[in-house]
Structure 1
Amino acid sequence: MPEGNVAAKEADGGSVVSTDEQQRLHDRLANAVAPLVESPFGTAAAVTGTVGTVESTVALGTLWEGGPSATNDSRFNVASVSKVLTAARIVSLAHAKAIGLDDPISKHLPGVRLIDKGGVDRAGTITVRQLVQHRSGLPQVPRDLEQKVANRWSSPDLLRVLTDSWDLALDGIPGQYKYSNTGYALLGAIIERTRNCSYADCMSTYLSELGMMHSTFWPTTLGDDAARGRVVVQGTVKFNESGWYASRYALPFTGLWTSMPDLARFGSVVVAASKDLASPLHEMTAPDGKPLGLFLDTRLDATSLEHDGSGPGFRAALIVIPSKSVVLAMATNGGNETKDEGTAFANVVRSTLNAVPAP
């Protein structure tokens, strides 16, 4: 039997949501997400769905082959969904006037030069906002990354050392969309310098402020409640322990380990922010049609704010539909980022989202 949370939840105004409603939601979610514990995915999956004041979580399978059963509190690496939390921290710092979204990169990372194809340094004109929106022209991976890191992947000061002096060659035209992990590494460095702490430590405080108590950006702190990433290497199935993912460089764009109730809790923060002009995250929710750290789509005949993620051993998705107060957070511990798997995962996400509203 899947684990599920079907306890009554206090609604605004003190009313109590029917446990029957939650049980029906739980059963629909369990049926929809079941394919994620079968090939080509992993051994475990979890999903939290919220519609209005009704919420339920389903956890299926085992955290690795022969490992403990998945529970509501099990942590999964959510790959690129991590970027959403990095973006949220940047937007909240801008709301607090600690940084400006339209500040040039050179203001916060004076040692970084962003060299365009004509040899011109654009760090004085490319903005923090453009990093968040993948419009900086930066490549997915810097050409000299391995050389610059020099096997210091787990060093707490890695991002600071890298950005003390780094010439990065642009791959695209500033202002035009080009998805870039590198841009989010720089955002992580800006967070570090603004708050005077390592990215993982800075984000630990922020996750606590968000109420995400089962979340972390540093995987070596995890225990047996964390899923292991299922990968297939030359035909052999392997499970990567959480420490395998301990790259300080990658934390801002793929480092979040979280439970699905925690991720859905953040989604509910986004729903609330979309309706509150004074919220620190309101600007993140696309009041101008240009979201920060999230992507616009149409789901259930309404505008959605969302991000998915895939990496060695994990796939995840966060979908928020503010007008319907719908949130879906889901993850599985399988995925080698092949096209067929991506399509299959997207189909499961779609069917699971359709299970969230009452039929």
Structure 2
Amino acid sequence: MKALLAALLLTAAPVSAQELSPAETAKVEKIVADSLARTGVPSASIAIVRGGRIVLAKAYGKQSETIPQARADTKYPIASISKQFTAAAILMLRDQGKLSLDDKVSKYVPGISGGDIITIRQLLSHTSGLQDYWPQDYSFAAMREPVTPQDIVDRWAKKPLDFAPGTQWQYSNTGYVVAGMIVEKVAAMPLLDFLKGHVFTPLGMAPVDQDIAVGPGYPQGYQRFALGPVRPERPAAHGWLFAAGELAMSASDLARWDIARMNRTLLPAADWAEQETPVKLTDGTTNGYGLGVTAGEQLGHRFVEHSGEAVGFLSQNTVFPDDKAAVVVLVNADFSDAFSSIAAQIAETILPPSQTQRAEGTTTAKARRVYAMLRSGTLDRAVMTPDSNYYFSASALADYKATLGPLGEPRSFELVRPPRLRGGFVNRNYRAVFADRTLNIVTYAEPGETGRYEQFLVMPSQ
């Protein structure tokens, strides 16, 4: 592990870390190094925004067989993260008075199933009912041959709808291919040309079509079958991602877009807000997806995010608008959770504690004290409700002491899911990690910092 960490540090390409403390920088280095070592992912390229500017951009590991040293300016396919750019193009054309989000698809692209009732908004929010042409997490046989957007439409968008438009949510790359075709027809130019003139050049970005981001100077995508060797993966033929995920760019390029989002520049503020507003189904529910992005809140931090998967690549882009922060992680492998794990850990490192997190720090410390009591066979019954005291009989306490005591003090004890209400109590789940095992702790407590525990169950992790 130490040898690998040293190698990764030697191949890292720093840009700027003025806003990160030495301790934060070291932690980010370790997060990336440990994740690559754990998963076998060859390389990662990251960008961190804090205070509304890029404070760190680095590349680590092996980007390809022909790139001797990892470079932070190397362009990785960002795949479905591209969808928010397609959605932005639609919003720009709307602002120019050239279309409406409530226009029916048939007005621009004929022959599509449900085209007379599907709206552009439903294409962008994955509520159109059009069948997804690429649900697989691998390159299927047809992807060996080049394809055009019209080919995709002819094969998938003319099938019967999977559901009535607006009634369900189903991720659909097909819908975004249609949206890209609408952009090209209305703008009278290729989608990438429109984005270059209206987005990329104004923001100082230099993306390329991921179909040409292949060969010398570009990262190699890698695959792995189960726990077998890591092997170079053959890219898909030209045309398969189009408006659903055709962009390749550096992590810093994507971070520049994120800065525009948090500062509400380039697009009108109302457009950014519209993109980030979850679209509701006909029954009034939503899963948090807006127009090309998912929006939500976790532990007091509002976020806007999207991930991406191309053949041999995975990516994660998360923006915390209120904190003026963002994390971009691009990796050249499609077989692990390194991209999302790195992003989550970096976010935890760079974000200031929210009021919710500070409060949860208190409740987590309280839960850890109760766990310590149980492993020692003692229990302050004043912190438990009558039902919980009934549960912790003498035999229950004896079993807790006999099985938890030998494990000793956990290496870590962390909240693993935001608190939620259920049955008048607040449910919190924790994870206790030891040298050779992990335990799950499922608790229910009365609301408030002094609330008593209705439940405190310790169980083995999977």
TM-score normalised by the chain length of structure 2: 0.63
Correspondent of 1:351 among 322, 345, 356: 345
- Larger Rg belongs to: 2
Correspondence 1:3 to 2:28 = no
Correspondence 1:50 to 2:83 = no
Q: Secondary structure of 1:297's match?
A: strand
Q: Report the counterpart of residue 149 of structure 2 in structure 1.
A: 159
Pick which of 78-87 and 245-254 moved more.
245-254
Q: Report the counterpart of residue 182 of structure 1 in structure 2.
A: 174
Q: Report the counterpart of residue 232 of structure 1 in structure 2.
A: 224
Cα distance in 1 for partners of 2:45, 2:97 equals: 37
Q: Report the counterpart of residue 173 of structure 1 in structure 2.
A: 164
Please tell me the residue identity of whatever aligns with 2:99.
Answer: I
Q: Once the 2 structures are TM-superposed, how far is the Cα of residue 181 of structure 1 from its aligned partner?
A: 0.9
Q: Secondary structure of 1:220's match?
A: coil
Q: Is the 8 A contact 1:215 1:257 kept in 2?
A: yes
Aligned-residue Cα RMSD (Å) equals: 3.3
Please tell me the residue identity of whatever aligns with 1:322.
Answer: P
Cα distance in 2 for partners of 1:194, 1:276 equals: 19
Matches within 5 A, 1:1-359: 1=9, 2-6=12-16, 19=18, 21=20, 25-54=24-53, 55-65=55-65, 67-109=67-109, 111-114=110-113, 122-141=114-133, 151-153=145-147, 158-160=148-150, 167-175=158-166, 176-220=168-212, 224-232=216-224, 235=228, 237-240=230-233, 244-273=235-264, 278=269, 280-286=271-277, 291-299=290-298, 301-336=300-335, 341-342=336-337, 345-357=339-351
- Kindly tell me: are residues 222 and 151 of structure 1, through their superposed partners in 2, closer, same or farther at Cα, counting changes over 3 Å? closer
Q: Report the counterpart of residue 119 of structure 1 in structure 2.
A: none
Pick which of 55-64 and 289-298 moved more.
289-298
Q: Once the 2 structures are TM-superposed, how far is the Cα of residue 78 of structure 1 from its aligned partner?
A: 1.6
Q: Once the 2 structures are TM-superposed, how far is the Cα of residue 229 of structure 1 from its aligned partner?
A: 0.5
Q: Once the 2 structures are TM-superposed, how far is the Cα of residue 274 of structure 1 from its aligned partner?
A: 8.7
Cα distance in 2 for partners of 1:279, 1:126 equals: 24
Please tell me the residue identity of whatever aligns with 2:48.
Answer: G
Flag as ranges the 4+ runs of structure 1 deviating above 6 A. 146-150, 287-290
Q: Secondary structure of 1:64's match?
A: coil
Q: Once the 2 structures are TM-superposed, how far is the Cα of residue 233 of structure 1 from its aligned partner?
A: 5.2
Q: Once the 2 structures are TM-superposed, how far is the Cα of residue 291 of structure 1 from its aligned partner?
A: 2.6
Q: Once the 2 structures are TM-superposed, how far is the Cα of residue 246 of structure 1 from its aligned partner?
A: 4.3
- Kindly tell me: are residues 313 and 151 of structure 1, through their superposed partners in 2, closer, same or farther at Cα, counting changes over 3 Å? closer
Please tell me the residue identity of whatever aligns with 1:350.
Answer: A
Gaps of 5+ in 1: 8-18, 115-121
- Kindly tell me: are residues 164 and 20 of structure 1, through their superposed partners in 2, closer, same or farther at Cα, counting changes over 3 Å? closer
Q: Secondary structure of 2:82's match?
A: helix
Cα distance in 1 for partners of 2:312, 2:259 equals: 27
Gaps of 5+ in 2: 1-8, 280-287, 354-462
Cα distance in 2 for partners of 1:223, 1:65 equals: 10
Cα distance in 2 for partners of 1:237, 1:194 equals: 44
Q: Once the 2 structures are TM-superposed, how far is the Cα of residue 222 of structure 1 from its aligned partner?
A: 5.4
Q: Secondary structure of 1:331's match?
A: strand
- Kindly tell me: are residues 38 and 225 of structure 1, through their superposed partners in 2, closer, same or farther at Cα, counting changes over 3 Å? farther
Q: Is the 8 A contact 2:144 2:237 kept in 1?
A: no
Cα displacement string for residues 207-245 of structure 1 (whole angstroms, at most 9, x for unaligned residues): 52352533112432656332111112584533246xx24
Cα displacement string for residues 127-165 of structure 1 (whole angstroms, at most 9, x for unaligned residues): 00011000001111189xx99999442xxxx22566589
Q: Is the 8 A contact 1:41 1:335 kept in 2?
A: no
Q: Secondary structure of 2:315's match?
A: strand
User: Which of structures 1 and 2 has the larger relative contact order (alpha carbons within 8 angstroms, sep 6+)?
Assistant: 1
- Kindly tell me: are residues 85 and 74 of structure 1, through their superposed partners in 2, closer, same or farther at Cα, counting changes over 3 Å? same
Q: Secondary structure of 1:69's match?
A: coil
Cα distance in 1 for partners of 2:252, 2:131 equals: 33
- Kindly tell me: are residues 21 and 351 of structure 1, through their superposed partners in 2, closer, same or farther at Cα, counting changes over 3 Å? closer
Q: Is the 8 A contact 1:62 1:69 kept in 2?
A: yes
Q: Once the 2 structures are TM-superposed, how far is the Cα of residue 265 of structure 1 from its aligned partner?
A: 0.8
Cα distance in 1 for partners of 2:141, 2:232 equals: 28
TM-score normalised by the chain length of structure 1: 0.79
Q: Is the 8 A contact 1:212 1:266 kept in 2?
A: no
Cα distance in 1 for partners of 2:309, 2:146 equals: 24
Q: Once the 2 structures are TM-superposed, how far is the Cα of residue 358 of structure 1 from its aligned partner?
A: 5.5
